[in-house]
């Protein structure tokens, strides 16, 4: 089943074509990796999907409905969540608050509810707290809910960001270099965790990643971008041996020989 379908998506910054008529289909409950050299347009691709940028041309259908032109806050409601390449937590809020904000889309109370102490609001808040605590436990951060996000070590900040993204209970999770800056052990944990999310939570994951070990090990399908164009797509094994891909990463074969 196709969860996300992107057709002819083009994004320009002035004269620069960051994404050039991309066609990508993401199947449900898979781990779909996007790789490519620096500046290939991977993060721009994420930003277009989540409403930060509006693509000039093309169509994005999520579960069959177009999401092009929706603002980021509407897109979360559709069931898409993301993490960031450079971790972007709410630094001066506690871990619990960070995750509870992730749950924002499932809460309804407005201005008067909390002031009047309505029963529905109190119930909702209790539920939000419960969900958030469960998620912190899920990422193995129980007991640290009252610490400020900025005080966590790097690895835990990544996990906290993941928990915050999960709190919106997304169907599609966009991870932007989740293993950046991690040692092999932490990387392995993260890989297990990502697979666990696909298998146990049934979340579809689109992954931008630079570590080939990660990509080749956990991806169900890999898409390669270069200069905003898709240059290859296929199973990890196929990509590994694809000539165009190797050229994009290492330069053309002739040039490589001459070195």
Of 109, 92, 209, 106, residue with least CA distance to 166: 106
Find the shortest distance in angstroms from Cβ 161 to another protein.
9
Give CA–CA dist 31/205, Å, rounded.
Answer: 5
Rounded to 5°, angle at Cα 224 from 222 and 229: 140
Name which of 68 and 245 has its Cβ closer to another protein: 68
Stretch that binds another protein, among 32-40, 45-53, 184-192, 250-258 (CB under 8 A): 45-53
Name which of 17 and 147 has its Cβ closer to another protein: 147
Stretch that binds another protein, among 13-21, 100-108, 180-188, 213-221 (CB under 8 A): 100-108
Give CA–CA dist 211/216, Å, rounded.
Answer: 9
Residue list 112-131, contact with another protein (CB under 8 A):
113-115, 117, 121, 124-125, 128
59 contacts 7 by C-beta, under 8 angstroms:
yes
Alpha helices in the chain (DSSP H): 42-49, 72-78, 95-102, 112-116, 119-138, 154-167, 184-200, 212-218, 236-240, 243-250, 253-258
Find the shortest distance in angstroms from Cβ 98 to another protein.
8
Q: Does 147 bind another protein (CB under 8 A)?
A: yes
Alpha helices in 103-252 (DSSP H): 112-116, 119-138, 154-167, 184-200, 212-218, 236-240, 243-250
CB atoms within 10 A of CB 241: 9
Distances, alpha carbon 206 to alpha carbons 16, 80, 104, 117, 165, in Å: 25, 10, 22, 40, 13
Q: Does 152 bind another protein (CB under 8 A)?
A: yes
The mark string for 218-257 relative to another protein (x by CB under 8 A, - otherwise) is ----------------------------------------
Q: Does 168 bind another protein (CB under 8 A)?
A: yes
Find the shortest distance in angstroms from Cβ 43 to another protein.
13
Stretch that binds another protein, among 59-67, 80-88, 226-234, 241-249 (CB under 8 A): 80-88
Give CA–CA dist 259/9, Å, rounded.
Answer: 37
Q: Does 196 bind another protein (CB under 8 A)?
A: no
CA distance from start to end of the chain:
46
Find the shortest distance in angstroms from Cβ 91 to another protein.
6
Phi, psi of 165 (to 5 degrees): -65, -40
Identified binder of another protein from the candidate list 25, 57, 97, 189, rule CB under 8 A: 97
Residues at the site binding another protein, with contacts judged by CB under 8 A: 50-52, 71-73, 76-77, 82, 84, 88, 90-94, 97, 100-102, 104-105, 107-111, 113-115, 117, 121, 124-125, 128, 144, 146-148, 151-153, 156, 164, 168
């Amino acid at each position: 089943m196709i969860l996300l379908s992107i057709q002819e998506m083009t994004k320009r910054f002035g004269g620069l074509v960051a994404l050039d008529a991309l066609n990508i289909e993401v199947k449900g409950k898979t781990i779909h990796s996007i790789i490519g050299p620096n500046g290939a347009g991977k993060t721009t691709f994420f930003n277009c999907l989540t409403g930060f940028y509006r693509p000039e041309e093309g169509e994005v259908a999520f579960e069959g409905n177009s999401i092009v032109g929706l603002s980021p806050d509407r897109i979360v409601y559709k069931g898409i969540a993301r993490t960031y390449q450079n971790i972007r937590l709410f630094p001066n809020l506690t871990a619990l608050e960070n995750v509870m904000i992730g749950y924002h889309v499932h809460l309804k109370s407005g201005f008067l509810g909390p002031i009047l102490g309505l029963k529905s609001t109190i119930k909702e808040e209790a539920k939000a707290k419960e969900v958030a605590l469960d998620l912190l436990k899920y990422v193995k951060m129980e007991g640290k809910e009252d610490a400020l996000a900025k005080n966590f070590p790097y690895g835990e900040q990544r996990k906290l960001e993941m928990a915050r993204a999960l709190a919106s209970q997304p169907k599609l999770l966009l991870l932007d270099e989740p293993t950046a800056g991690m040692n092999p052990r932490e990387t392995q944990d993260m890989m297990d965790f990502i697979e666990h999310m696909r298998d146990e939570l049934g979340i579809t994951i689109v992954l931008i990643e630079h570590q080939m070990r990660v990509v080749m090990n956990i991806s169900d399908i890999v898409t390669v971008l270069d200069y905003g164009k898709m240059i290859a797509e296929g199973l990890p094994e196929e990509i590994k041996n694809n000539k165009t891909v190797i050229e994009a990463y290492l330069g053309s074969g002739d040039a490589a020989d001459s070195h």
